[in-house]
Structure 1
Amino acid sequence: MTADRHGHPMSETGAEALAHYEQALDDLLFFRPRVAKTSKAVLTASPRSVMGHALTAYLGVLGTEEKDAATARDRFARFRSGLDTGRLTPRERMHLAAATAWLDGDMHGAGRTLGDLTVAYPRDALALFAGHQHDFLTGDAQRLRDRVGGALDVWDGDDPHHGPLLGMYAFGLEESGHYERAEEVGLAALAQHPGDVWGIHSVVHTYEMRGRFTDGIRFLDARTDDWSRDSLLTVHNWWHYALYTLELGATDRVLEIYDAALHHDASAGVAMELLDAAALLWRLYLAQEDQSARWARLADAWENRQDGPHYAFNDAHAVMAYVGAGRFAQAQRLVEDRERWAAAESGVSNRAMTAEVGLPVCRALIAYGQQDYGRAADLLLPVRHRLHTFGGSHAQRDAIQRTLVEASLRAHRADLARTLLSERIHLRPVCPYNWSAKARLEEQLGDPVRAAAARERAAAQASA
């Protein structure tokens, strides 16, 4: 029996397949698009490779693509049919259990098994990566941090995968609010591998959360060759660049980035990229920027996917696109479909994510688009502290938090708006949006002096 470079036995995996597996794992950790090809090469060389099948199963779910997950589920079921699991190693059986649970819709069960795997086999990079992405998709910031942090102690600093593990750990630190430590760890990851796009992404998040928008632009500009091409994260890192630019008030530049990188005729149309496009345009929608042509193209892209109830976070961004395009009937059809499904379905993680958070958010987005701002606020207020449970990062979910702020302002709910803006400003004192919203609140309250001061502060931060 062969073994990987950390000594983990690999059932039904020949030497050629093992070499392909190690390459595929490296491609996965560094978000190279060729991971689909190299993982397929594992099974071409050894069609019954257990870890090869586990890897391809995880690839089927990590992109939150319903069709990819269905294909992976069928393929994995065929592989498991007649498989004598008693001949496998305990580690391989745990991977089979985690992959099966995830493919069957039990994301949280898969996450627990992957956690047990990491405790027993802390140098299992596939378990760490799949678990880390699971924690991101389920919005579990503490596990996002501690899953990797708990394994780092057994990794040698000169291991070629120590760097990407640091990049993953940096993201968990950032999502847990440890911004300075996250930046430090992320930069350490990049010192080992400058092309670690997840490490770059982690540092970028720290600048976003601290209002260091100009620093973020400079950071990305200095590393353009490392993140802006040949990566599964290229579009997402451009999205971060656009967020910085939006805070600085350069709307024309934001739209240049949108058209060149986020959504255009050659875009792949995958959910992860479409939700970035929707989240960026929605921020412009909240600012009353007319982007009707872009919304129409984006709504077409979402509608062409014909997604079923697979991942609530994606549904919310599809509804943003429909509302932005003025297609309220389409948005309402999606909501009604998910309501029927959630009422009948049980046993899958997305059911609770949809019923408890996804549907209230979608209904609120529709209400906001219909200028029923009071209803939008009423729908978002009970879930605002639970938004993380349907996935995404703090930066991504902020589009929804801003919707609540805007709804409270437009509904003239001054007490609510004051509370929300006080929370935001004390948490992120450097954020031009927060201060410009504060200026509008003070105008509503009839205090032009305080409004002018807030406006000046927003302008000063945007031009700093």
Structure 2
Amino acid sequence: MAGDRHGHPMSRTGPEAVASYEQALDHLLFFRPEVAEASGRVLAAAPHSVMGNVLAAHLGLLGTEEKDAAEARTAFERFKEHAHRGEMTPRERMHVAAATSWLNGDIHRAGRVLGEISVEYPHDALALAVGHQIDFFTGDAPRLRDRIGGALSAWDPSDPHYGPVLGMYAFGLEESGHYEQARESGLEAVDRRPRDVWAIHAVVHTYEMQGRFADGIRYLDTCADAWATGNYLNVHNWWHYCLYALEAGDTPRVLEIYDAALHHAQSPGAAMELLDAAALLWRLHLADAETGERGARLADAWAARHDGAYYAFNDVHAVMAYVCAGRLAEAERLVRAREAYVAGGGPRTANRAMTADIGLPVCRALVAYGRGHYDEAVDLLLRVRHRLGEYGGSHAQRDAVHKTLLEAALRAEHHALARTLLSERINLRPVCPYNWLAQARLADGLGHGAQAAAARTKAADQAAEGAVALKR
């Protein structure tokens, strides 16, 4: 029986298919679009390859696209009709169970099974990579860190895939608050493999979470050739660049990047890219910034997808786009559709729970905010603000919702709540011009002119370094 380069046997997979599988795995770890073609070559050479079919199933799921997932489910069920469990290795049977669980809507069980694989087979890079993304999609920071950390010591640093495994660990460390260790691990991973865009992304997150936005701008500029084009993560890393530019107060630069990279006429309309565009426009909307027709064009792109209930995190960003465009009727129509989905029968899938518990309250709050019903937005978000991780994403992504709560509190003149929220934010991230500008607005509302002026001065001083970095 042929096997991969780590000695894992691969049933019904000849040498040619194994070679293509290794190429596909390499592309997957580095977020290269060539992964789809390489995966196709595996199945062309070995249509009944267990791991080839498992890989194809996961590729249909990782983009959080409902239609891709449905096609992957059909193909995988067809594969299982002709597969014989007796011919599979124990590892392969576990992989089939994990893929089946996710395809059937139980993403949490899929993550647990992949974790069991990593315990027994720590060099199984597919189990680590897919499990890591599941932890991201479910917002499970401790598991995002420990899934990789638990396998890392089994890897030889000379292994070509040690770098991307270390890069995954860096992101898990960052989401768990270990910023210095995360940055060191991420930089080491990039030093090993300079085009490791996930490791670059992990480093970028550490700068974001520590308010080191000028350092983040300089870092992304330094390694732009590695991340800015030609990979599935380039739009997301441009989004991070925009977050830095927002802190520096350079809205024109933000809109320039938005038009060039985040959303334009040639954008493919993929959910993972549209949500970055929506998340950025929403932050601009909270700041009352003028964005022209961008909101309408983005809302059109979301509407053209005709998404069903598949991933609550995506639904929230679709609603952001509709509200930014002033198309509240469409936002409310999506909310009603998800309410019907939750109320309907059927299995309680992970997404059904995410939608009921987190997605719908957030969507309703966004609509309320769009209508100027700030008290209602506050009430809805206060109930879920400490549970937002349950519907996925990173701390940086979920901060858009936390900012919505703060903005609603300020506009509703809930001064005590706004003071509390700002105290939380400033003590956690003292270098953040947004926080200090919000503090100034609160002081204005309380009639504390001197405090407002001091907060604005602090915000301007902090933004200045980022502005210098942008002009380099």
| TM-score for the superposition, normalised by structure 1 | 0.99
Pair 1:405-2:401 in alignment: no
C-alpha displacement at 1:194, in angstroms?
0.6
- Per the alignment, residue 155 of structure 1 pairs with 155
Pair 1:367-2:382 in alignment: no
Pair 1:341-2:341 in alignment: yes
- Per the alignment, residue 469 of structure 2 pairs with none
- Per the alignment, residue 120 of structure 2 pairs with 120
Whole-Å separation in 1 of the counterparts to 2:36 and 2:4: 20
- Per the alignment, residue 442 of structure 1 pairs with 443
Pair 1:328-2:323 in alignment: no
Q: Deviations over 1:153-197 (max 9, x none)?
A: 110000000000010000000000000100000001011001100
- The one-letter code matched in structure 1 to 2:289 is E
Q: Contact (CA 8 Å) 2:48, 2:83: kept in 1 or not?
A: no
- Per the alignment, residue 395 of structure 1 pairs with 396
- Per the alignment, residue 455 of structure 1 pairs with 456
- Per the alignment, residue 218 of structure 1 pairs with 218
Whole-Å separation in 2 of the counterparts to 1:312 and 1:291: 26
- Per the alignment, residue 12 of structure 2 pairs with 12
- Per the alignment, residue 229 of structure 2 pairs with 229
Whole-Å separation in 2 of the counterparts to 1:274 and 1:82: 38
Q: Pairwise mapping of residues 38-437 of structure 1 onto structure 2 (< 5 A)?
A: 38-344=38-344, 345-437=346-438
Q: Contact (CA 8 Å) 2:331, 2:367: kept in 1 or not?
A: yes
- The one-letter code matched in structure 2 to 1:361 is V
Where do 4+ consecutive residues of structure 1 move more than 3 Å? none
C-alpha displacement at 1:82, in angstroms?
3.6
Q: Deviations over 1:356-395 (max 9, x none)?
A: 0000000000000000000000000010000010000000
Whole-Å separation in 2 of the counterparts to 1:274 and 1:175: 23
C-alpha displacement at 1:86, in angstroms?
1.8
- Per the alignment, residue 36 of structure 1 pairs with 36
Q: Secondary structure at the match of 1:438?
A: helix
Q: Secondary structure at the match of 1:381?
A: helix
C-alpha displacement at 1:129, in angstroms?
0.2
Whole-Å separation in 2 of the counterparts to 1:242 and 1:149: 31
Whole-Å separation in 2 of the counterparts to 1:224 and 1:114: 33
Q: Secondary structure at the match of 1:150?
A: helix
Whole-Å separation in 2 of the counterparts to 1:412 and 1:171: 37
When structure 1 is superposed on structure 2, of 82-91 and 109-118 the one drifting more is 82-91
- The one-letter code matched in structure 2 to 1:365 is L
Whole-Å separation in 2 of the counterparts to 1:107 and 1:339: 21
- The one-letter code matched in structure 1 to 2:163 is G
Whole-Å separation in 2 of the counterparts to 1:155 and 1:180: 22
C-alpha displacement at 1:290, in angstroms?
2.3
Provide the identity percentage. 67
Q: Contact (CA 8 Å) 1:432, 1:461: kept in 2 or not?
A: yes
What stretches of structure 2 of length at least 5 have no aligned partner?
466-472
Whole-Å separation in 1 of the counterparts to 2:90 and 2:287: 54
- The one-letter code matched in structure 2 to 1:244 is Y
Whole-Å separation in 2 of the counterparts to 1:463 and 1:405: 24
C-alpha displacement at 1:229, in angstroms?
1.1
Whole-Å separation in 1 of the counterparts to 2:82 and 2:196: 40
C-alpha displacement at 1:225, in angstroms?
0.5
Q: Contact (CA 8 Å) 2:107, 2:350: kept in 1 or not?
A: yes
Q: Deviations over 1:299-318 (max 9, x none)?
A: 00000000000000000000
Q: Contact (CA 8 Å) 1:292, 1:325: kept in 2 or not?
A: no
Whole-Å separation in 1 of the counterparts to 2:218 and 2:413: 39
Q: Contact (CA 8 Å) 1:4, 1:18: kept in 2 or not?
A: yes
Q: Secondary structure at the match of 2:33?
A: coil
C-alpha displacement at 1:347, in angstroms?
2.8
Q: Secondary structure at the match of 1:426?
A: helix
Whole-Å separation in 2 of the counterparts to 1:80 and 1:166: 34
Q: Deviations over 1:73-105 (max 9, x none)?
A: 000000001421122100000000000000000
Whole-Å separation in 1 of the counterparts to 2:321 and 2:240: 19
- The one-letter code matched in structure 2 to 1:109 is R
C-alpha displacement at 1:200, in angstroms?
0.3
C-alpha displacement at 1:212, in angstroms?
0.6
- The one-letter code matched in structure 2 to 1:191 is D
Q: Contact (CA 8 Å) 1:292, 1:324: kept in 2 or not?
A: no
Q: Secondary structure at the match of 1:154?
A: coil
What stretches of structure 1 of length at least 5 have no aligned partner?
none
C-alpha displacement at 1:292, in angstroms?
4.1
Equivalent pairs, count: 464
- The one-letter code matched in structure 2 to 1:367 is A
- The one-letter code matched in structure 1 to 2:160 is P
Q: Contact (CA 8 Å) 1:182, 1:202: kept in 2 or not?
A: yes
C-alpha displacement at 1:421, in angstroms?
0.3
Q: Secondary structure at the match of 1:458?
A: helix
Whole-Å separation in 2 of the counterparts to 1:346 and 1:293: 40
C-alpha displacement at 1:291, in angstroms?
1.9
Whole-Å separation in 2 of the counterparts to 1:19 and 1:194: 23
